[in-house]
Amino acid sequence: MKRSTLLSVTALLTVTVATAIALFTLSPAPDPKTATGVPREATSAPAGVLDAGQILTAARAISDALPPLPDHLTDAMPDITFQTDANGDLIPTLATRNIFDFFLSALEDEPLEQVLARLERTLSSHLEEPALTQARDLLERYLSYRIELDALAKQAQPVMTSSGFDVVALQQRQETLEGLRQGRFSGTEAEAFFGLEETQDRHMLEYLRISQDSSLSDNERNRALASLEQQLPQALREVRQRVTRNGEVYRQVNQMRAAGASDAEVFQARTHVLGAEAATRLAELDQQRAQWQQRLDDFLQARNRIRQSGMSVSDQQAAIDDLIASRFTGAEVVRARALSAEL
């Protein structure tokens, strides 16, 4: 994916623990299913939660009449690849989940039905039967999973003690979260979609246990943490090393800019650590953000002049609506309206 993730290790640990474990207080999940699909009754959403099947049906009806994808999402588009076996059945992979997540990340820019219509068009243009129907079913169950997690997360709070996170409570929540996944997905699907994530979450739980174990000396704790790190799969160790490196570059660039460094100096620093290709992409992203910020600043100045013009409230709103329509297009309109209301 053409998107650089600049997070420190601390940020990664916080995200992993706070979102994947601590925020979810879930009900017991059904027993894992071994079939390729999960029975409908096992995947029904709780009362009051949106029905994923109905949403997807509405999305398919508009999949042939979609506006272009917003530019900033087009630039971040992952490779669209699906795997099938010799019989034409879908093989669930992490890449499949990444495709689902990429389109769902557009919810800040577009309504849900339109986002899902793009996913429907992607599935139908890359897959044939029986994989197409299987992918649609998998998407419906994944959407139900995401909707339910979102609803439940709003009702839960992180569990903290004087020593930090309550590890016992986190363990219970992790087990329940994994049970929820097993209740919605087959073993193969759950492993493909969440296997690495669950390995990382279990690693973090053990990290917290060791860190909070008062019976250990500093040397014993350091040795235990070093041993724990070596138990991670190579793929996860590489990710953690990359995140650490990106986080260090992010902090370095912020310090350089605060000290008045030029764009050329920033590019050179990024190239030294990340390589020329990544440095070029980040420079392009910097430019896009700067251009957007300048456009937004110009719009806000014009909007403020309208608000100070002495016109009636209704005339002011009409003038601001015209201003937005003349300066922004597509998803930019939604972002401009939201930011205008906040600033």
More confident residue, 60 or 96: 96
Query: Residue 16: pLDDT band by 50, 70, 90 thresholds?
Result: very low
Task: Report the candidate in 40, 138, 145 with the shortest Cα–Cα distance to residue 91.
Answer: 138
Does pTM top 0.85 for this prediction?
A: no
The kind and range of the H/E element at 280 are helix 276-307
Q: What is the pLDDT of residue 64?
A: 62
- Which of 4-13, 198-207, 217-226, 277-286 is least confident? 4-13
Mean pLDDT of the chain: 79
Domain spans of the chain?
9-230, 262-342
The amino acid present at 45, given as its one-letter code, is A
Q: What confidence tens digit (pLDDT) does each residue in 184-196 have?
A: 999 999 999 999 8
The percent of residues above 90 in pLDDT, for the chain, comes to: 41
The kind and range of the H/E element at 221 are helix 218-230
What is the distance in angstroms between the CA of the first residue and the CA of the last residue of the chain? 32
Q: What is the pLDDT of residue 67?
A: 77
Q: What confidence tens digit (pLDDT) does each residue in 37-95 have?
A: 443 333 334 433 456 566 666 666 665 667 777 776 777 788 899 999 999 999 999 99
Neighbours of 256 (CB within 10 A): 16
- Which of 59-63, 120-124, 238-242, 300-304 is least confident? 59-63
Residues 195/59, Cβ–Cβ less than 8 Å? no
- How far apart are the C-alpha atoms of 54 and 44, rounded to whole Å? 12
- How far apart are the C-alpha atoms of 321 and 318, rounded to whole Å? 5
Q: What is the pLDDT of residue 172?
A: 81
Residues listed for the chain: 343
Phi-psi region of 323 (alpha: psi -120 to 50; beta: other; left: phi over 0): alpha
More confident residue, 75 or 318: 318
| SS3 call for 277 | helix
State how far Cα 209 lies from the chain centre: 27
Q: Is the pLDDT assigned to residue 218 strictly greater than 60?
A: yes
Report the pLDDT averaged over residues 93-101.
95
Q: What is the pLDDT of residue 246?
A: 84
Q: Tokens 């508009």 map to which residue?
A: 62
Query: Residue 220: pLDDT band by 50, 70, 90 thresholds?
Result: very high
Sign of CA dihedral 317, 323, 326, 331: negative
Q: Is the pLDDT assigned to residue 30 strictly greater than 80?
A: no
- How far apart are the C-alpha atoms of 16 and 219, rounded to whole Å? 26
Q: Is the pLDDT assigned to residue 238 strictly greater than 60?
A: yes
